[in-house]
């Protein structure tokens, strides 16, 4: 069917199959159709700008059921049809472009509304660039060397280990009392030369032990805000270090299906939630942080690292291979 802003269909009361079936007696009917079309053009305000009266004849003319009828077409696109530089499909094409533009604007409006008011995480419109570097073999070697000289283990321990911690405290208190008691006994027997020699020897031993303890290289050396990426080999080596905290940045459901070692779960997409901020703020800052997710770009790991960096954690290592690489290579 013809396409125009104004499209009226005119059908004569007398049934006529097509123009080919018109006779002299039908002249009055056809003439009346044109008079009606003229009145309708004035009524709909297209008489001055111009309009068309057309009819379709036969199958090639677009008639499915042959019957004589006329189309009154009017509106601004009709004027452009006479322009040589404009094809006859200008009107349909402009309508399609208009609809596409409206659809795009509607989609943008819905996206802005959802991300601004309905999405608590508010996805950034521009993908952030993470300021990271790649850890060298020398960096990992130095860390492993330091960790190997200390037996102190810094880990996130389960809550059921509180009883063990209490026993340890009790034992330390008992040893302190015992030491104080021995010191008291040594004081009351200073009149003999044997006791004096024993006390001197004990003091010298304790001083030497204290000096040796104070010169031990610590397992962890802080570097607040430092974030570096590591590959599979470096990640495996770091897993053998006592003073590391391993974090799985994937969602809770994926984490429950399988994770690496004793990794704790902090979902990168929800790291800004109050409960996760509180959790990070209360974590000890005396261990190396190692984070992984599914692999690849590892956006979730970078999100967690970014928040932890602001809280003074570091060094922070991001295993870029993630669970995807680990689950394959660890079985080889």
Residues catalogued as catalytic: 69
Q: Which single residue is written with the structure tokens 């040589």?
A: 84
Could you tell me which residues come within 8 angstroms of residue 125 by beta carbon, excluding any fewer than 6 positions away? 115
CA 220/CA 235 separation, integer angstroms: 17
Could you tell me which residues come within 8 angstroms of residue 91 by beta carbon, excluding any fewer than 6 positions away? 3, 4, 77, 80
CA 78/CA 49 separation, integer angstroms: 9
Report whether 54 contacts 2 (CB < 8 A). Answer: yes
Q: Which two tokens stand for residue 9?
A: 């269909």
Q: Which single residue is written with the structure tokens 């009819």?
A: 55
Helical packing angle, 193-214 and 162-188, nearest 10°: 150
Report whether 317 contacts 238 (CB < 8 A). Answer: yes
CA 206/CA 188 separation, integer angstroms: 20
Which of these, 261, 275, 276, lies nearest to 319 by C-alpha position?
261
C-alpha separations of 153 from 82, 147, 150, 158 in Å: 87, 10, 8, 14
Report whether 4 contacts 74 (CB < 8 A). Answer: yes
Length of the chain (residues): 332
């Amino acid at each position: 069917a013809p396409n125009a802003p104004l499209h009226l269909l005119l059908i004569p009361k007398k049934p006529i199959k097509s123009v080919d079936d018109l006779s002299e007696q039908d002249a009055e009917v056809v003439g009346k159709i044109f008079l009606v079309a003229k009145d309708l053009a004035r009524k709909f305000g297209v008489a001055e700008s111009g309009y068309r009266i057309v009819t379709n004849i036969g199958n090639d003319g677009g008639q499915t059921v042959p019957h004589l009828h006329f189309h009154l077409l009017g509106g601004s696109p009709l004027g452009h049809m006479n322009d040589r530089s404009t094809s006859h499909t200008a009107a349909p094409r402009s309508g399609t472009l208009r609809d596409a533009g409206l659809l795009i604007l509607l989609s943008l409006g819905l996206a802005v509304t959802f991300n601004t008011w309905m999405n608590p995480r508010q996805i950034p419109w521009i993908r952030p660039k993470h300021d990271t570097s790649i850890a060298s073999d020398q960096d990992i070697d130095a860390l492993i060397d330091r960790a190997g000289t200390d037996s102190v283990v810094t880990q996130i321990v389960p809550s059921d280990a509180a009883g063990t911690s209490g026993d340890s405290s009790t034992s330390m208190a008992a040893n302190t009392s015992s030491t104080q008691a021995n010191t008291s006994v040594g004081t009351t027997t200073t009149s003999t030369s044997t006791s004096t020699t024993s006390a001197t020897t004990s003091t010298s031993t304790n001083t030497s032990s204290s000096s040796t303890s104070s010169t031990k290289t610590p397992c962890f050396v802080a570097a607040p805000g430092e974030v570096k990426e590591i590959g599979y080999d470096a990640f495996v080596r770091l897993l053998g270090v006592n003073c590391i905290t391993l974090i799985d940045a994937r969602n809770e459901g994926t984490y429950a299906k399988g994770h690496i070692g004793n990794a704790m779960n902090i979902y990168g997409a929800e790291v800004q939630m109050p409960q996760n901020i509180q959790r990070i703020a209360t974590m000890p800052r005396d261990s190396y942080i190692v984070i992984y997710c599914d692999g690849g770009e590892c956006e979730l790991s970078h999100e967690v690292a970014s928040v932890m960096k602001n809280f003074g954690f570091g060094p922070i290592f991001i295993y870029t291979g993630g669970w995807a690489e680990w689950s394959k290579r660890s079985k080889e």
